Every structure is written in structure tokens, then in C-alpha cells.
Amino acid sequence: DKGKLRAAAYDVMNAGLGDTSDELFVKLKNHPKIKATPHISGFSDTTNKDGNNIMISNIESWKKGKPINVFGE
């Protein structure tokens, strides 16, 4: 609202999946320079396939005793 951004796209992280009543989502959705989605913009056939491939690689590596993508290490 202060004119610092020309435009923005925002996947509303605070809103639950598909929650179009979230206060922040409603404010952003109604702003003329912002494209907002109710936390669904990352879901597609491509991201689903990529996520599954990562999961399969993680499991296969773990079964070989060489885990990958381990958090906290």
C-alpha cells in the first residue's frame, strides 16, 4: 500500500489449505497489485512427481544405509 512494490505473488502460508476466508488472504486477494492463492499454488502434476521422486530416492538411500536429505545433520 506504500508504493514500494510494483507487484507480488503470494501463497498465503498462514491460511489452511484452500481457506479463502483467512483475513490476510482476503486482504491480499483484494489488493490490485497482488496475486494471492490460498496455499495451493505449489500443487501441480510436476511438483507431485518431483516430490514422489525425492521420496523414492530418500527411501532407497536409507535402505542402502546412506540416508540423504536428513534434517538436523
d(CA 63, CA 68): 11
16-45, pLDDT tens digit by residue? 666 678 787 788 778 888 777 666 666 778
d(CA 62, CA 11): 32
Which residue in the block uniquely carries the three cell numbers 500443487?
Answer: 43
| Residue 57's pLDDT band (cuts 50, 70, 90) | very high
